[in-house]
A and B are shown apart, each in its own frame.
Chain A
Amino acid sequence: MNAQIAAILAMDGIATGAIYVLIGIGFVLIFAVTRVIYVPFGDIAAFTALTLAALETGHVPGTVGLVIGLAVLATLLEVAARLRARRLGGLPRAMLLTLVLPLVPVLAAWLAAGRDLGMAGRVALSLALIMPVAPLLDRIVFRPVADASVLLLLTVAVVLHFGLVGLGLLFFGPEGVRTQPLTDAMFTVGGMNFSVQTLLIVAASIVFSGLLFLFFEFTLAGKALRATAANPTGARLMGIRPATTSTIAYVLASLLAGISGILIAPVTTIFYDSGFLIGLKAFVGAIIGAMASYPLTAAGAIFVGLLESFASFWSSDFKDAIVFGVLIPVLLWRSLGFRESEEETEE
């Protein structure tokens, strides 16, 4: 390997890592706010890629059926819960959130079928379609067991992942997809050619991580999320509803996972079940960040991306084996840190 190849591999690795960064940050965010290790984030990313691909070919994406099903189920649960508690006052607002809002992008997708939206329109519609999925699943699956142990919540998340893979096959079919490149442009540095798309991926990752940081630092909702993560009882005593913060967290994390799905779609062939491996690698980044630190998670995710890039140069067949082989000692070391941070939060 010469310096030129190393530079290209490093650039590729950073771009792949940048995609994992977005999902990894989502893992940390959801864990902090809800204590759920949200295994299906990779699936959310993969479904976004599949949605974008369907829109490119002028089809109504499978996400439409998925969102309708989830919205109806969540609404039924909400009505039942409110009837039982005899608190019907908030029902119109709840219906707006669980039924009307999720169906807006669904309607948009129907109206748009067969029309050319342009790249930006397709990306925006894909993100809007995927955004309600995780918050609705939260309402249906996690809210009834919100007070359970971390281990039980993790088990539920794993089951949910397998359920989603099944739904993915049902709604998207078995074909793999690869979307059009974001751009074909190239640029040259020191006699080497790099694609502008790689640069765009890294830039998107930096911009959206940065926006999340600004949200946490400068908005009341962002501070409410941090407060819930740090001290759930204290937050409730301020009138901050855990259900509200977890919905906001899921919307934000879905947006990040969705963006990573958009970014990965033109560089990798994505199937309905590709989410697991993507999610697992991002999860490794989050574990390197001890499920608590956003900057360390980002660094960890980049490290995984680099490892993957160089491993695929040495042997593309054993790429994943090499990646996880190298990571196991790192994970053992970092999991000690994770255990410490978990004990702190349970204090």
Chain B
Amino acid sequence: MALLSLENLWVSYGKVEAVRGVSLAIEPGEIVTVIGPNGAGKTTLLSAAMGLLPSRGAMTFDGVDLRRLDIEARVERGFCLVPETRELFANMSVADNLLLGGYARRRDAAGRRRALDEVMERFPRLAERRTQPAGTLSGGERQMLALGRALMARPRLLLLDEPSLGLAPLIVREVFHIIASLHGLGVAILLVEQNARAALETADTGHVLEAGEIVHSGPAAALMNDPKVAASYLGGR
């Protein structure tokens, strides 16, 4: 059974339909990417799946109807979003941001401490800056903090909205490296990206979103070799 399944999802801002009948599924531990140009509706899709925006259509997570769960209940079940805007707590220290990432598991103090150690080990740069306010971090460090904070919740599914946005090429490589390594933890990932090449290299399955509709789908490797996809999204690089 799919871990997350979206069926015929529609999301609108007033009269503007930003997501138009999208269906997709993610298996446990799988990395699925949704690529598409700016304004295609990628952020809207993730926000609706998380419950930040109202939507029409069917959504289930681990067999449970998502409409019965509010945002916080989704997080408690291991359904976590790292939004495009990161939403870090800028005035609070790196360590406090990470601690709050484990809030959904607040009754499991030992597990939280273990998760904190693991995240610090995975992101040594965060460990060095643990007492520094999150607002003073560089772009790459902020993205790592956002990822680390999400990992504190022991997610089963991570929704990542443009993790490479605004980062220098070298840092982008590092971030995708980290995303690929999460595979080893058994975390399923729904990765939304404009950086199509890197996303398809990392993912198992890919979907191309244009103007709110999925226009191509398939194994990530097949999409990379699809001339239409290559012409629109991979050209020149």
Contact = CB atoms under 8 A, between A and B. Distances in A.
A127 to B, nearest CB: 26
A103 B189 CA distance: 47
B76 A239 contact: yes
A236 B153 CA distance: 13
A239 B153 contact: yes
B173 interface: no
B217 to A, nearest CB: 28
Contacts of A86: 68
B233 to A, nearest CB: 29
A308 to B, nearest CB: 34
Contacts of B89: 226-227, 230-231, 234
Interface in A237-258: 237-241
A228 B99 CA distance: 14
A194 B76 CA distance: 56
Nearest to B83: A237
A107 B104 CA distance: 34
B27 interface: no
Nearest to B50: A237
Interface residues of A, number: 18
Nearest to A86: B68
Contacts of A239: 71-72, 75-76, 103-104, 153
* B contact residues, range: 20 to 34
Interface string B60-80: 000000001011100110001
A207 B159 CA distance: 44
B106 A220 contact: yes
A230 B92 CA distance: 9
Interface in A23-78: none
A135 to B, nearest CB: 19
Interface of B: 50, 52, 68, 70-72, 75-76, 80-81, 83, 87-92, 96, 99-101, 103-104, 106, 149, 153
Closest 8 CB pairs of A and B: A234-B87, A239-B104, A239-B75, A239-B72, A238-B103, A241-B72, A236-B71, A238-B100
Given A233-B87, A240-B100, A240-B103, 7 more contacts: A223-B96, A231-B90, A235-B100, A238-B100, A238-B103, A238-B104, A239-B75
